[in-house]
Amino acid sequence: MDAITLSFLSHLAVLVIWLLLATSYAHLIPALNKLGTALLAGVSLASVILGFAAQATLGNLVSGISLVLYKPFRRGDRLQIHAPTGLETGEVEDISLGYTILRTDDQRQIIIANSTMAQQTMIKLSQASLPGPAKD
């Protein structure tokens, strides 16, 4: 496993542990258990509204999970992508749950939403196709 996968899994594990602890705590206290049952309909409605409001963010999250799990590229790979500035080439510096960061040869950072990365065609460059000194 690489560092990105380990980081993602550790953050996911912490989130799951906190949710389990909060749920267990709520069920241990009878007053909170009854209150939780009464507010279940309100929470479900709020989650639907929040889901619609955060649709782009949730799309980036799901795309980030798929990029981490399927690994079409890894940290250190050189990619060629279409950006608003045109065709860009850079090295994958980081993949988070929301964004992928590329570092170009002129040291610019290109930050691309994972939903965009998952939908566009990228060219993964090999070391042989990199510009370098001409060999005679």
Q: Where are the domains of the chain?
A: 3-53
Rounded to two decimals, the pTM is 0.60
pLDDT band per the 50, 70, 90 thresholds, residue 48: confident
> pLDDT tens-digit profile of 78-101?
999 988 888 999 999 998 888 899
The structure tokens listed for 131 are 């510009």
CB–CB of 125/79 below 8 Å? yes
Rounded Cα distance, 103 and 91, in Å: 5
| Low-confidence winner among 28-32, 76-80, 114-118 (lowest mean pLDDT) | 28-32
pLDDT band per the 50, 70, 90 thresholds, residue 4: confident
Rounded Cα distance, 81 and 41, in Å: 45
CA angle 131, 2, 101 (to 5 degrees): 50
Query: Above 50 in pLDDT, residue 136?
Result: no
Burial of 91: CB neighbours in 10 Å, binned 0-12, 13-18, 19+: middle
